[in-house]
Structure 1
Amino acid sequence: MKITVIMVVINLIFVSIFVSLIILIIRALLKYIKSKDVRQEKSEVRKSLGEALKQHRTRCKMTQEFVAETIGVSRQAVSKWESGTSDPSTSNLFALAKLYGISAEDLLKEVE
């Protein structure tokens, strides 16, 4: 009789642990599903430096040639920066940020 009671108690403990685990898994999955918009927004926010530079240039309605002439580099240099082939020097990065009306820090915060 004692063994039967002990077995029932052990079974109840295992069932309660199993149910608790299932509840935790369901809660985690629901939280993950609800966070889809946040995850998607973060992936959209993260971009390369070239993508950020191009986005700001087009936002300001500037051509690569205008940007190049304004900061004193070739149009090909601006094209390489935007395509990710090369990165601007620190001084050029500051010049670009100033030209686009943002701080260099904010520009770099947009980058992965």
Structure 2
Amino acid sequence: MALGVQFIISVVLYIIILATFLGLLILIVRCLLKYLKSTDVRHEKAIIRKSLGEVLKENRIRCKMTQEFVSESIGVSRQAVSK
């Protein structure tokens, strides 16, 4: 009879370990899916992280302004705008 009880306990422990492993596996899959769906957010954060110089250059190019025109407009040298 003791052998039957030990067998039942070992089976129950095995089931608990298996359930824990499956739970962790499900959490990992959920995390990966959430990460894959967050590409828009990551792209937006990359845009926000741009330096001031990069943002100014993009806007200058979008407005079709040269460095020389900007430098004359704000009263600094062209090299200052370049930096």
TM-score normalised to the size of structure 2? 0.82
Q: In the aligned structure 2, how far is the partner of 1:43 from the partner of 1:70?
A: 30
List alignment gaps of at least 5 residues for structure 1: 81-112
Task: Give yes or no for the alignment of 1:58 onto 2:61.
Answer: yes
Choose the corresponding residue for 2:75, options 69, 72, 76.
72
What is the CA RMSD across the aligned residues, in angstroms? 1.5
Q: How far does residue 32 in structure 1 lie from its aligned partner after superposition?
A: 1.0
Query: Which residue number corresponds to residue 5 of structure 1?
Result: 8
Q: How far does residue 55 in structure 1 lie from its aligned partner after superposition?
A: 1.1
Q: In the aligned structure 2, how far is the partner of 1:74 from the partner of 1:61?
A: 19
Larger radius of gyration: 2
Question: Which has a greater percent of helix?
Answer: 2
> Higher relative contact order at CA 8 Å, sep ≥6: structure 1 or structure 2?
1
Amino acid at match of 2:20: I
Provide the aligned length of Structure 1 versus Structure 2. 80
Q: In the aligned structure 1, how far is the partner of 2:36 from the partner of 2:65?
A: 40
Amino acid at match of 1:33: L
